[in-house]
Structure 1
Amino acid sequence: MRYLMMTKGGSQPDEKLYAEMGKFIEEMTAAGVLLVTGGLDPAGFRVTSSDGEITVTDGPFTEAKEVVAGFALVEVRSKEEAIELARRFRHIVGDGESIIQQVFGP
């Protein structure tokens, strides 16, 4: 089962956070759980459609805490395992919100 784990914007990381995240990422990579991870540019842009009209809006968006700041694609045996990884991640990075969605398809 693959899950996309996304985290919304938070505080600026410090050296301790980078070190802890590095260990966590190394552990998940060695276990074969982590497929890919990355940070996202907070500026971004939004593409919407309504009645056949396409609108492109450049960021950054007004609510920075609502912007997805990073992601990880993991492959695990169960939903519970994905939740446990998310709990460990939140414990490392502190207050904030993560969104986890199962990825379907090949």
Structure 2
Amino acid sequence: MALKRFSARNVTALAAINTAVPANKAWTVIGMSICNKTTGMVAIDMLVNDGATDTYILKSFNIPAGETLFPWGQLGKGVLATNDIIKVSSTGAVDVYMPYYEEAA
């Protein structure tokens, strides 16, 4: 099992936070932070795409100016399977950080 991470800066338009989970691998997301860098409220969407279908985790979730949301801390750990991608969009610039463990599926 290897500890790894992804990060993305100044996310606004829908963007993939990670590359697709490789074949024969599983990822356990052990945390995530989404930081609102603006001086106003932003609304974020967060979803998982399995290679074909989007499944929303958060939809139009408001983050106040200068605040940070910890979605996996509130939802628990997340498991991503082969081809899964986490995507985030925001109405203003946010930074996203996602640590995870990778292991054989």
> Which band: TM-score by shorter chain?
0.3 to 0.5
TM-score by length of 1: 0.35
Q: Higher Cα Rg: structure 1 or 2?
A: 1
Scaled by the length of structure 2, the TM-score of the pair is 0.35
Q: Which has the higher strand share?
A: 2
